Structure 1
């Protein structure tokens, strides 16, 4: 027989042994948001779920159950085979711990495949995430990385993370680089997915003496960071990276690959075109169409992004920030590492 477990028990099991969490909701539900690192083995596909749901609302509960049983019966062998191919213990969940996960766990049990069932399903998990973020006690000291567009702040954080420094990659969690062009070439996450991934990272990092993260706006693409993290950004130690414009142009070309997504960059530029002096905006537009991307980037930095960052910089008192003037990303990495070592944290 299957065993119901709470979310707390599920998380404890995942830390102690191999446990695969399986979302049996429909593919679109799974795509919208799910438990981190879970697999999707849908009980119903999207069309089947819609059909059963319509019967539930417009005909009767029994009619919906009968049709659901008819649908799942025809695909039970392949359904069970998918579960059987997964090694180790398994935990299943649906929207609220109802028919789909209960039936799945029962059928698996009959086939001698043990599975836990998450009480309350995804709905209970989502409530826990929101409650945790609302009351999260952030303990580490914050080091906030600033710098004009193109200084490679995200790349710097990735380098530091690869060397086991405690890094919170907000852009990675959001699936967005934070600028008007930040979604291009990436899969942006919605708020629910961002919240789930963020909470996991916060829990992982909360015993660290400090955490490094980028000075993002409160809104990153489609998502908004929680208030306590925005407060940490404003009150933490501010590390500013200054780098020559030519080095920043090359970093942007490397990161954004404008030749691969030319049409999307041209379209996105139209959203900020009116904020730039007309002759300059026209020249940027011409450069983009003519594949003169370095020239376009340089003009956008000089006449749009750098003035915005100058304004942001002025909001912080000189005594509250540390500035490193470097020529490239290698020098920036060395400077931050030496600075952290000197803090004796």
Structure 2
């Protein structure tokens, strides 16, 4: 048998490592947005789902069900085997908790495999995310420690180091799968708003009563996603940490992160979108450097003549007692200084 459970029960069991979540929607639905930590065992492929949808609209519901049965019966052994290879209890969901998840759970039950089914599917989960986001606007208590700095300072790397040591960190660029600039999606597939909201809620809930939370100073929009208003307010009211770092380090960070030799065409296309904003001789030099794969020169010129002049040194926009300027040789140095700042202000945290 299988058991129907609510979103809250579903997520609590996942949190307690009592469930492996299985998304039985098609691969494209899974890629668009899913519950973090889920695996995809599709009931139908994208093509099969499209075919059944057409039959549903143009013929009848019964004809669509009959065609669905024909499709799944052929691949039933492999479908069941995929579930059998997963250790532990299974938590199954589809779009609205309808035919695909119910049929999957029923088939598993016939094979003696117990499972839990999410009532309402990912549609109900999405509704829970939206409601939780609204609640977080009232319940998110941490003081924000906001990392500022010129492009290439390694703010994401600094946050990752701190997160690995157990500090409360919101990696907003990871949630958006975008680095927040015209070059920001190179080598990445940016997340949509649904996936960003899901990842944000998952992390924000962990820290909603923490004394502090660290994140990068981002604009309202990152790639295809928009930050929640309450986080932007937290950012503006937070402690601003301005990181200064040698340009040589910044150039190396950018090259290591973007790996432009693997994405040469994308880099040229991104530069083409901004070159009119750069003084013509400098733009020509950058373009030539990119074409010749002299990335050190191209990145340094972009920093000196495009990104740095456009960077708004926002320290003057905040009360002086909430601004902290640090000079660091590298990322490791910056991490140690920031840890010292946190220890001084909140000695009980670490």
How far the C-alpha of 1:213 sits from its partner, in A, is 0.5
Name the TM-score, length of structure 2 as normaliser: 0.94
Q: 1:313 to 1:301 in 2, by over 3 A?
A: farther
Greater alpha carbon shift after TM alignment, 178-187 vs 312-321: 312-321
How far the C-alpha of 1:109 sits from its partner, in A, is 0.9
Q: 1:315 to 1:272 in 2, by over 3 A?
A: farther
Where 2:260 maps in the other structure, the secondary structure is coil
Q: How does 1:186-201 map to 2 (within 5 A)?
A: 186-201=188-203
Task: Name 1:330's counterpart in structure 2.
Answer: 332
Task: Name 1:78's counterpart in structure 2.
Answer: 78
The separation in 1 between residues aligned to 2:319 and 2:277, in whole angstroms, is 28
Where 1:71 maps in the other structure, the secondary structure is helix
The separation in 2 between residues aligned to 1:343 and 1:164, in whole angstroms, is 17
How far the C-alpha of 1:179 sits from its partner, in A, is 1.4
The separation in 1 between residues aligned to 2:219 and 2:283, in whole angstroms, is 24
Task: Name 1:268's counterpart in structure 2.
Answer: 270
Task: Name 2:162's counterpart in structure 1.
Answer: 160
Task: Name 1:308's counterpart in structure 2.
Answer: 310
* Aligned pairs, number: 345
Cα deviation digits, residues 225-265 of structure 1 (max 9, x gap): 11111111111110000122222222222222223322211
Task: Name 1:118's counterpart in structure 2.
Answer: 118
Task: Name 2:88's counterpart in structure 1.
Answer: 88
Where 2:324 maps in the other structure, the secondary structure is strand
Task: Name 1:129's counterpart in structure 2.
Answer: 129
How far the C-alpha of 1:155 sits from its partner, in A, is 0.8
The separation in 1 between residues aligned to 2:346 and 2:103, in whole angstroms, is 55
Q: 1:341 to 1:200 in 2, by over 3 A?
A: same
How far the C-alpha of 1:12 sits from its partner, in A, is 1.8
Name the TM-score, length of structure 1 as normaliser: 0.96
Greater alpha carbon shift after TM alignment, 281-290 vs 247-256: 247-256
Where 1:168 maps in the other structure, the secondary structure is coil
1:13 aligns with 2:9: no
How far the C-alpha of 1:342 sits from its partner, in A, is 0.5
Task: Name 1:229's counterpart in structure 2.
Answer: 231
The CA RMSD over aligned residues, in Å, is 1.5
4+ residue stretches of structure 1 with deviation over 6 A?
none
Q: How does 1:52-63 map to 2 (within 5 A)?
A: 52-63=52-63
The separation in 2 between residues aligned to 1:171 and 1:10, in whole angstroms, is 27
The separation in 1 between residues aligned to 2:279 and 2:17, in whole angstroms, is 60
Task: Name 1:344's counterpart in structure 2.
Answer: 346
Task: Name 1:218's counterpart in structure 2.
Answer: 220
How far the C-alpha of 1:22 sits from its partner, in A, is 0.7
Task: Name 2:185's counterpart in structure 1.
Answer: 183
How far the C-alpha of 1:313 sits from its partner, in A, is 4.3
1:249 aligns with 2:248: no
Where 1:188 maps in the other structure, the secondary structure is coil
Q: 1:279 to 1:311 in 2, by over 3 A?
A: farther
Unaligned runs of 5+ residues in structure 2 are none
